[in-house]
Amino acid sequence: MNLNQVTVPAIDVGASVRFYEQLGLTLIVDSVPRYARLECPDGVSTLSVERVEELTSGPGIVIYFECDDLDEQVAVLKAKGLVFKHDPVDQSWLWREARLQDPAGNLICLFHAGVNRKNPPWRVETIES
């Protein structure tokens, strides 16, 4: 099984598309103002934005994009005018993360985890039959 895509809600799909294009994704389905799908620059995953009448409250979606060159990528995005909630910081779970929000308020985490993404020192060992 492989994660194909994530769909996020937005009231203004066009604003979200422009935001994700600034992050480096490429628009591949343009049904704005109702729907759009974008392709990630690396790998095969896609991200969809779907129009909703109202956004839900409380903790919502967090989208994680891994970047091998996190600090440089954040600097490039800041130069484009994107505003970060916090700059890259080393986390106790061995990832380096920077966070920002898309125009709909969805939380975006740009991170670098390397081998620790799927194989942290505390990974659960599986027992084979």
Per-domain boundaries in the chain: 5-53+60-117
**Dihedral Cα 50, 21, 73, 2, nearest 10 deg:** 50
Q: Per-residue pLDDT tens for 2-31?
A: 778 999 999 999 999 999 999 999 999 999
**Is the distance from CB of 74 to CB of 87 less than 8 angstroms?**
yes
Q: What is the CATH number of domain 5-53+60-117?
A: 3.10.180.10
Is pLDDT above 70 for 69? yes
Give the residue from 23, 38, 20, 15 showing the smallest Cα distance to 74.
23
71 CB-near residues (< 8 Å, 6+ apart): 88, 96
Return the bridge partners of 62, or none. 107
Its pTM stands at: 0.88
